[in-house]
Structure 1
Amino acid sequence: MTPDDVTPAGGPHDDAERERRLRELLDGLFPGRGEEMLAQMRAQGLDPSALAGSGPLPDPAQLQAALAQVQRLLSTPGTGPVNTDVAHDLARQVALADGDPSLTGGQSKAATDALRVAELWLDAATTLPPSGGPTHAWSRSEWVEATLPAWNALVAPVAASMADALATVLGDQLGDGVDVSVQLPGAPEGLALDKLGLGGLEPAQLLRRLGAAAFGMQVGQAAGTLSREVFGATDVGLPLLPGPGTALLPTNVTAFTEGLDAPEDEVRLFLAVREAAHARLFTHVPWVRAHLLGLVDQYARGITIDLESLEEQVRGVDAADPEQLRRALSGGGVFGVQPTGEQTATLLRLETALALVEGWVDEVSAQAALPHLPHAVPLREMLRRRRAAGGPAEQTFSSLVGLELRPRRSRDAARLMAHVFTAGGTEARDAVWDHPDLLPGPADLDDPAGYLARREAQKLADTEFDAALADFLRDES
């Protein structure tokens, strides 16, 4: 080897190697355009080999995958405050995380048979007829597909408020806008590539898309987590399906049964009775659905965002990284800690309504199952404690909309339903749902024995008022 064969460090061989590595990076990020972009740099008087620097460049495939993921999160305009595509994709991923095997024919048949038997038992326990909808045996992923639209709608009011708050807080922190560019190694200050292809967006638009993506991640994480815990479509006490129908998740039922003294077929039947009872109520007392969802919406729209807490939680977050933002927001603490008087009243009405739904289902299910299932009493108590302890549904809703769905007074509501049944039978107990104005209130949960007397007094007062009004109208005519 002669001295002429040796190239000093920084010589043409090194320059060519650095330029080759830069071309590979650009080709990985912008397929087929690497040489074109190098030519543009030379035309502007820039040295491509100097831009590549001396250190290793990132792997083009990994960098491209990461940028594509963030670009997908932020580039879709969307039609609301929740990025539903992100929510859907993440919910499916979380549902599959611990395994979501396809149901066997035997599992599906056992689940749908249990739901049909449950309807027969309920016919003897309530005047409300079967829901009339289809019976389903769902995997976790199928539960996500069926219920995710309802979750997106439920959290939308708070997501809208959060998007505005994020635009304010992050806008103040970022000043001139969000940096969505990537600085090439060794490049002069100011020379960067728009890594997300979003350079034409106004900062406010980008921040709202960021908020929608972050909230979509939260909803997806929550729904996916719930899919591994729930037994059917009604565990959260809210109507999550758009129409009549019942469902069981055999995988979750089997997991719940492990360690119990009761055999799986008993557990499955008991859970099927509860599912079918919920479905009857939501289907044949249609105002209950509107009442519950309306109260959730009314409460959520009144929530205020604590800007100081929000600013503290997102301080240091990369504004082009929705995953960082999702983790920051998932800690909670950003909702106003002082509810308004109207919100307090709404929350009390919602808690009472949820307790009454749970109490009615609890009492009707027990009455339907006791003659048939030897373990009905311990199963009833186990599910009561599970709800009272605050399961995944309560934690999910608390983190998403600052609202707990725990029916704190479900035992009181069950006692009220049992008292009404003892005094007037099945028809009297089911007549609790005749009209929203006649729904028991907190005072009735405090004094179940006095509920019927108060209701009769209210009916008498209403009758007397109607008669007096009719007399007045006749006199006027």
Structure 2
Amino acid sequence: MPQDGSGSLIDWNLAVRAGKRFSPASPDVSRREADDAVDELYRATAQAADVVAELTHLHEPPVTAVTRVIDRPAWIETNAAGMRNVMAPVVERLTEDNPVGKVAERVGGRLTGIQVGVVLGFLSGKVLGQFEFFERAGGQLLLVAPNLVAVERQLKVDPHDFRLWVCLHEVTHRVQFTAVPWLRRHMLDEIDALSASIDTDPAEMRRRLSGAVGELVKVVRGQGNGAGVLAVLATPEQRAVLERVTAFMSLVEGHAEYVMNAVSPTVIPSQQVIENRFATRRRRGGNPLDRLLRRVLGMEAKTRQYIDGSAFVRTVVDRIGVDDFNAIWTSRETLPTRAEITDPELWIARVHA
């Protein structure tokens, strides 16, 4: 693969350029407003670390992950680099001794680059924050300042409270992956399992692609199960991995959601107002095109991860307390299954029997 990212199955340079082109315009702010927002987000991240430690009882080692307050183009560049690292073994498997993959590599790199860029451009206007650990092994906490400003204006909430509220969520993710260091290896192993299970038989690839087209028609009609078009492309082996990944993501997202909404009113006085208005915004899902893209990308399922995961964490903590809940981070075997996410008593019975 050329080092510049072109000439491969995905033209990553073109993906970045397309992503920036399709990224929405940033909100109108003065230079001083922008500088103040950036400074406050850095301070809020530091403040959030103490609150997260108190609520989770997880002990974060000395922080090595960098915190970056960035704009949408920088978010696109960072995530394109991370995706390239993650997908390298997948691309290699698709093109290794596979005539279909080699043809796609020769003629399809630009097309797939544009497709990836469109997705990155769309998401760049949605993501408020992210703990990213695919580009840098130590991880980096990203806060997308234009999106935070846009949402706090749309919700008409207190900017200071809202920024700290979001930072609580993202710092919780940082604590999860640093206080429990095997989580990162777990995620990488699951990605490797997905890569190893790819069926490169041309006939089978065509069959699944046909099914994905059918699912796309359902999505456009407002049907489907919310898992997104890409889920249809999965083999039975990959679906088993995706079940585990879904349960894992429900846990880590729900845990962060639980923390940000369990914070004391003395820390965030308008927390309840923010939570209610943000939940209403999430249910509405934006304009019709926005809702369509969310369904295509499987982001409806992502919303359910927040809801189911938060309910799971809240139920377990209420039943057995934070310290016994933290047994969940002991090993891969103590992580909840997808069935246990929706029935927390099953997890309590299995792990604390």
TM range (shorter): 0.7 to 0.9
Q: Alignment partner of 1:344: what SS?
A: helix
Task: Give the Cα–Cα distance (whole angstroms) in 2 for the partners of residues 347 and 249 of structure 1.
Answer: 28
Q: CA deviation at 1:167?
A: 5.9
1:98 equivalenced with 2:30 (yes/no): no
Partner amino acid for 2:18? L
Change (3 A) 1:344 1:393: farther
Cα deviation, 1:111-165, whole Å, max 9, x if unaligned, reads 1112112112223212224571332211112222322211223445665677689
Cα contact 1:233–1:248 (8 A) shared by 2: yes
2:255 pairs, out of 356, 360, 368, with: 360
Q: CA deviation at 1:403?
A: 9.8
Q: CA deviation at 1:271?
A: 0.6
Task: Give the Cα–Cα distance (whole angstroms) in 2 for the partners of residues 292 and 397 of structure 1.
Answer: 24
**% of aligned pairs identical?**
24
TM-score (norm 1): 0.57
Partner amino acid for 1:141? P
Total equivalences in the alignment: 324
Q: CA RMSD in A?
A: 4.1
Q: Unaligned regions of 5+ residues in structure 1, if any?
A: 1-73, 170-203, 314-332, 458-477
Task: Give the Cα–Cα distance (whole angstroms) in 2 for the partners of residues 114 and 209 of structure 1.
Answer: 47
Q: Alignment partner of 1:128: what SS?
A: coil
Q: CA deviation at 1:270?
A: 0.6
Task: Give the Cα–Cα distance (whole angstroms) in 2 for the partners of residues 267 and 279 of structure 1.
Answer: 19
1:120 pairs, out of 46, 50, 73, with: 50
2:242 pairs, out of 347, 371, 379, with: 347
Change (3 A) 1:306 1:384: farther
1:140 equivalenced with 2:140 (yes/no): no
Task: Give the Cα–Cα distance (whole angstroms) in 1 for the partners of residues 60 and 292 of structure 2.
Answer: 28
- Tell me the residue number matched to 2:113: 216
Cα contact 1:362–1:414 (8 A) shared by 2: yes
Cα contact 1:232–1:249 (8 A) shared by 2: yes
Task: Give the Cα–Cα distance (whole angstroms) in 2 for the partners of residues 447 and 336 of structure 1.
Answer: 24
Q: Alignment partner of 2:68: what SS?
A: strand
Cα contact 2:42–2:69 (8 A) shared by 1: yes
- Tell me the residue number matched to 2:221: none
- Tell me the residue number matched to 1:440: 336
Q: CA deviation at 1:377?
A: 2.8
Change (3 A) 1:168 1:340: closer
Cα deviation, 1:351-394, whole Å, max 9, x if unaligned, reads 11111111111112222354422332343355556667789899
Alignment of 1:141-290 (within 5 A): 141-156=73-88, 168=100, 207-234=104-131, 239-242=133-136, 243-290=138-185
TM-score (norm 2): 0.74
1:87 equivalenced with 2:15 (yes/no): yes
Change (3 A) 1:273 1:409: closer
Change (3 A) 1:336 1:129: closer
- Tell me the residue number matched to 1:414: 310
Q: Unaligned regions of 5+ residues in structure 2, if any?
A: 213-227
Q: Alignment partner of 2:352: what SS?
A: helix
Task: Give the Cα–Cα distance (whole angstroms) in 2 for the partners of residues 385 and 258 of structure 1.
Answer: 15
Partner amino acid for 2:66? P
Cα contact 2:7–2:109 (8 A) shared by 1: no
Cα contact 1:387–1:406 (8 A) shared by 2: no
Q: Alignment partner of 2:108: what SS?
A: helix
Q: CA deviation at 1:448?
A: 1.7
- Between structures 1 and 2, the one with greater helix share: 2
Cα deviation, 1:44-97, whole Å, max 9, x if unaligned, reads xxxxxxxxxxxxxxxxxxxxxxxxxxxxxx9x88575322222233233334x6
Change (3 A) 1:149 1:433: same
Cα contact 2:19–2:120 (8 A) shared by 1: yes
- Higher radius of gyration, 1 or 2: 1
Cα deviation, 1:167-190, whole Å, max 9, x if unaligned, reads 649xxxxxxxxxxxxxxxxxxxxx
Q: CA deviation at 1:438?
A: 0.9
Task: Give the Cα–Cα distance (whole angstroms) in 2 for the partners of residues 432 and 273 of structure 1.
Answer: 20
Q: CA deviation at 1:417?
A: 1.7
Q: Alignment partner of 1:262: what SS?
A: coil
Partner amino acid for 2:116? V
Change (3 A) 1:80 1:208: closer
